[in-house]
A = this chain, B = another copy of it.
Amino acid sequence: MATTFKQLGLIGCGLMGGSFALALKQAGMVERVIGYSKSPSTTEKARQLGVIDQVAESALLAVSGADIVLIAVPVAATEATFRAIKHLVSPDVLFMDVGSTKRDVVDAARRSLKERAVAFVPAHPITGKELSGVQHADASLYRDRQVILTPIAQTLPSLVEKAQEVWTAIGSQVRIMTPESHDAAFAAVSHLPHLLAFAFFTGILQQAESEEFLALAGPGFRDFTRIAASDPAVWRDILIANREEVLRQSEHFRGALGVLEKVLRDCEGESLEALVRGVSEARSQWRMGAPRAR
């Protein structure tokens, strides 16, 4: 089944938006990409790199004439984007975002789009790089990755179906969740790890010996802290938007850390080994993106 579009309106020409445009182009699913970014230099770079074909002077002009629109801006900028484009939001066009939190995005859509929110299919692709910016856009960023769609009661089923077709066509596995269970799950497996990686790296930087420490760090440190290099504005928005769930997850974590610290302090080697063995076996068996239905 061929899902093709005449024109993609891309609002936000960064890593996520740029990669989506490239993926659609590579799959031969879109004739033309019109892009808008807050920063004119970003849009110009996206055009020079062939990620977009034409620069739009505003978000509204990026939507004009499009039959598919992707909003790929930091989460906190989503509502302002909805307001800027709402007069052109209609059920003839598939509107999606790529935000890592969904309750706030859905609330923003209800508030600002009102009954036009039927055309908006909230989406969260589980992917990313620690490198942001359109220069790192990659047509394969979404391939073999999960994409979570979180439609609400009024979302048009025909558009949810079309959204599924689009992501499937560029190699993603689509799952449907409620915005609430989405946000709870991603607080646990994504937002908290980012908070912990930021905190851990901060703890190192605060010490007088930090330069010496960092010169000695090896591959375990490299992988553990990779996400600490993530984009500050993006993560400010995600952590603030989902702060209640993130703080709840942090409590779980502190409890588990406290138990390990107590066992260490008391020098209980056997208990420590048993605790680590349980984790180590569970982590060894885990495989990324293995949907439960398989």
Binding site for B on A (CB under 8 A): 76, 126-128, 130, 145-146, 148, 175, 181, 184-186, 188-190, 192-207, 209, 211-233, 235-237, 239-240, 243, 246-247, 249-250, 252-253, 255-257, 259-261, 264-265, 267, 269, 272-280, 282-284, 286, 288-292
Contacts and interface: CB of A to CB of B under 8 A. Distances in A.
19 contacts: A126-B216, A181-B212, A192-B200, A198-B276, A200-B256, A202-B256, A202-B259, A215-B289, A215-B291, A220-B226, A224-B226, A225-B286, A230-B276, A231-B280, A232-B273, A235-B276, A239-B264, A246-B264, A247-B265
Contact of A146 (B201, B218, B247): B218
A194 B275 CA distance: 13
Contact of A209 (B127, B184, B199, B250): B184
B201 A282 contact: yes
Nearest to A250: B261
Chain A at the B interface: SS class: helix
Given A198-B279, A199-B260, A204-B252, 4 more contacts: A127-B218, A130-B284, A196-B224, A240-B269
Given A224-B224, A225-B283, A200 B205 contact: no
Contact of A283 (B199, B201, B283): B201
Contact of A213 (B189, B213, B219, B237): B189
Q: Which of A197, A204, A223 has the most CB of B within 10 A?
A: A204
Contact of A280 (B222, B228, B280, B283): B228
Contacts of A194: 220
State how many copies of this chain the complex holds: 2
Given A185-B216, A216-B146, A264 B247 contact: yes
Given A196-B200, A292-B215, A207 B252 contact: yes
A236 B273 contact: yes
A288 B222 contact: yes
A202 B288 contact: no
A275 to B, nearest CB: 7
Contacts of A203: 249, 252-253, 255-257
B220 A279 contact: no
A217 B146 CA distance: 9
Contact of A264 (B181, B240, B269): B240
A180 B128 CA distance: 39
B221 A224 contact: no
